[in-house]
Amino acid sequence: MSEKGIHTDFKDNMTYGEYLNLDKLLTSQNRLSGHHDEMLFIVIHQVSELWMKLILHELNTAITSIEKDELPEAFKMLARVSRIQTQIIQAWDVLATLTPAEYMEFRESLGRASGFQSYQNRLIEFALGYKQPHILKIYEKDPELAESLETAYHAPGIYDVAIRALARAGFPINEDLLARDFTVTYKGDSTVADAWLEVYRNVDDHWNLYQLAEKLVDIEDSHQQWRFRHMKTVERIIGFKMGTGGSSGVNYLKSVLDHQFFPELWDVRTKL
């Protein structure tokens, strides 16, 4: 069946491909080894980086919204982040179709390049409050990128602004937390724990803060699932070999699984 209104003359109009820059996007999969399965490896990681770009877009705007006490606006963004996370978690299932023998055919082509160096993953960790100073050295090669990471490293994460929201709502939060050194990974505080416990015990009185807490738990839960699937996929493909970037590979990925971004939001479940 023909569609009479379909536009076919694009000599003076922008096309779908031009809008999306598909000429650049679809010619950026350069197999260095020429091996068939290297295409899978490249595409999975590029797609994941695109999803990470959107996660950062939503997370950073949510942080700004929370600082302005525009919590319902932040909820929409955080809910979207959770949906995006399901996509990048499932991406590991596709990469897991790569067998160890197939990967070894082109692994040397990566040189020292490694997902460990993903600066967007680091920016997501910074936004979630996980700060590791030694990571910054990796990006010194690109001064503009290094500056961007340094800025994010010193900025408050989403849990920091959530704690500030608790204080603005009248909860007696430790004053030192509100102007703390944000380069230090947050470990927990009794005043924050007490505030969240009050929120969860009186949901109707603190509905927006309760919703914020649950949105944050959704994101941490999904991020840990992503970390776990990452670890198991690496173990499935290379076992316990050292990563191409020099990390301990699976052992490093296992070491971060127990880290909690928002500790009081998990502890409150036991205390209720």
**Which residue ranges are tagged as binding site for heme?**
230
**Which residue ranges are tagged as binding site?**
41-45, 103, 107, 230, 244
d(CA 107, CA 178): 46
d(CA 7, CA 121): 41
d(CA 118, CA 115): 5
d(CA 232, CA 253): 9
**Which residue ranges are tagged as binding site for substrate?**
41-45, 103, 107, 244
Query: What is each CA distance from 55 to 31, 49, 60, 84, 271, in whole angstroms?
Result: 27, 10, 8, 7, 31
d(CA 176, CA 226): 33
d(CA 76, CA 83): 11
